[in-house]
Amino acid sequence: MSWILAFAGFAILVILHELGHFAVAKWVGMRVEKFSLFFPPTVLSKKVGETEYALGSIPLGGYVRISGMNPSEDLPEEVRDRAYHAAPVWKRIAVIAAGPAVNLILAFALLLVFFFLIGSPTATDRVDDVEKGYPAASALKPGDRLLSVDGVRGTATELSRQIGRHKCVQSPPTDGCRAGRPATLVLARDGRRVTERLAPIYDARNERTRLGFSYARGPRETLPLSESFTTSAESFWIVTRETLKLPATLIDGEKRKEISGVVGTYETTRQVALIDVARVVQILAIISLSLAIINLFPFLPLDGGHIFWAIVEKVRGRPVPFAVMERAGVIGFMLVIGLFAIGLTNDIGRLQGEGFGIP
């Protein structure tokens, strides 16, 4: 069932993205030759009017083919006035921007639905799972109640923050280094109090020291509508900011290991569906937003590349030579393929090793 949910979620994101391009292209009068969900080889195809609707066999995206995307394309006389490159710049930008715009709107709407109608599970003070290789594995048991850390009482978040205050002796910290000072935990176990002293370990992925355990989930907690808007906007900005850092991670060896590709994104969604199906709404919102931001990067063949060259044409006052766009497209294509390859390599490594660390 989790496979079906993950697949359906991705399919919906692709369909809505391409529908954005398709609807606006039709609205401004361009000739749409083909609307395809997923990439060839084509499994199903049906022509309605002047447009062919197709279903591909490779579920990695989709596309809308508009007549005249290539300025040197040989078109029948009756089609030339409706070709992409014959249209004013504003129409071209509108058509290309429509896909990412749909993903941006969908992302915010899904975040709002999640915080207002679904809510995040609250964390209790009880230990749920302990992770192998971390200090908690030798001292904590599922069902233990964590009463205090270093004498500090409070919520699960406050207790985790107190654990995180125990820093590694190394600076900068490296993955797996131990804190110089152990944390003192007071637990309730089988009606008695137990005190444990454990030195947290630095987790490079989460950028903090941890003991390696999770809290049992409590009931879901929704937010008022106004607060849901604010929280959605904050989440929207955080995901946008982190996605915009993606190009910089390509030149940082450690950060590059954190990049995930289609396989990892799909597997993360599937595993979340197994643990908490309602959280898939939040995950799809994040994926939709990331998809929009990445598509707006100014590199061909991404949507942002088409928008960039349309703006250049507007500023120049005349069309950009197709040869220039072709050369820029080769560079952009190499960057996209490189990013895809890095993400796929990392995903395979995680599948074979530590997994995807679903919280």
Q: Output DSSP code: residue 166.
A: S
SS3 labels along 220-282:
EECCCHHHHHHHHHHHHHHHHHHHHCHHHHCCCHHHHCCCCCHHHHHHHHHHHHHHCHHHHHH
Asked if 62 contacts 56 with a C-beta cutoff of 8 angstroms, the reply is yes
On the CB side of 212, CA atoms within 13 Å amount to: 21
Asked if 202 contacts 209 with a C-beta cutoff of 8 angstroms, the reply is yes
Please give the backbone phi and psi of residue 179, each rounded to the nearest 5 degrees, phi first.
-70, 150
Q: What region, left, alpha or beta, does residue 190 occupy, with left being phi > 0 and alpha being psi -120 to 50 degrees?
A: left
State residue 204's pLDDT score: 80
State residue 352's pLDDT score: 46
State residue 355's pLDDT score: 45
Asked if 217 contacts 124 with a C-beta cutoff of 8 angstroms, the reply is yes
User: What is the spatial distance between Cα 283 and Cα 289, in angstroms, rounded to a whole number?
Assistant: 10
**Mean pLDDT in order along the chain per 10 residues (359 residues):** 69 89 94 89 91 86 86 80 90 95 95 91 84 88 92 88 88 86 92 92 83 86 93 92 75 59 54 66 87 87 89 88 79 70 55 45
Distances, alpha carbon 160 to alpha carbons 105, 164, 218, 337, in Å: 34, 6, 17, 39
User: What is the spatial distance between Cα 215 and Cα 337, in angstroms, rounded to a whole number?
Assistant: 39
End-to-end C-alpha distance for the chain, whole angstroms:
20
Q: Which segments of the chain belong to CATH 2.30.42.10?
A: 121-221
Residue type present at position 343? G
Fold of the domain spanning 121-221: Pdz3 Domain (2.30.42)
pTM (whole model) above 0.95? no
State residue 327's pLDDT score: 80
State residue 33's pLDDT score: 92
SS3 labels along 66-77:
ECCCCCCCCCCH
* 272 Cβ contact partners less than 8 Å away, ≥ 6 residues apart: 279, 280, 283, 358
Closest by CA to 71, choosing from 274, 304, 329, is 329
